[in-house]
Amino acid sequence: MHYDHFIIGQGLAGSLLAWRLLTAGRRVLVIDNGNVAAASRVAAGLVNPVTGKRLVREPKAETYLAEARACYGRLAGQFGVDFFHDKPMLRLFDNDEIKLSWAKRNDDDEYRGLIGEALGSDECGFETGGFIQYQTGYLLTSPLLNTLSQWFKQQTAMLETEFSYADLQFGDTIRWQDHSADGVIFCEGARVINNPWFRHLPMQPSRGDILTLQTDDPLPTWIINSGQWLLPLENGLFKVGATYDWPRPGQPLQEKGSLQGREKLLSVLHRLAPTVKHYQLVEHRAGIRPNSKDKRPLIGFHTQHPRLAVFNGFGSKGSMLIPYYARHFADVLLTGGRLDTDVDIKRWL
pLDDT digits (tens, 9 = 90+) for 294-324: 999 999 999 999 999 999 999 999 999 999 9
Phi, psi angle pair for 188, to nearest 5°: -95, 0
Q: What is the pLDDT of residue 37?
A: 66
CA distance 113 to 115: 6
Using alpha carbons, select from 46, 54, 64 the residue that is nearest to residue 115: 54
Fold of 2-45+141-203+293-348: FAD/NAD(P)-binding domain (3.50.50)
87-135+204-289 matches 2-45+141-203+293-348 in CATH topology = no
Domain 87-135+204-289, CATH among 3.30.9.10, 2.70.150.10, 3.40.50.620, 1.10.10.60: 3.30.9.10
For the chain, domain boundaries: 2-45+141-203+293-348, 87-135+204-289
Q: Which residues contact 125 (CB under 8 A, 6 or more apart)?
A: 220, 274, 275
Angle at 48 between CA 222 and CA 106, to 5 degrees: 85
Q: What is the pLDDT of residue 255?
A: 83
Query: What stretches in the chain show pLDDT beneath 70?
Result: 37
DSSP-H helix ranges across 155-273 = 259-267, 269-272
Q: What is the pLDDT of residue 252?
A: 80
- pTM equals 0.96
CA distance 267 to 263: 6
One-letter identity of residue 170: F
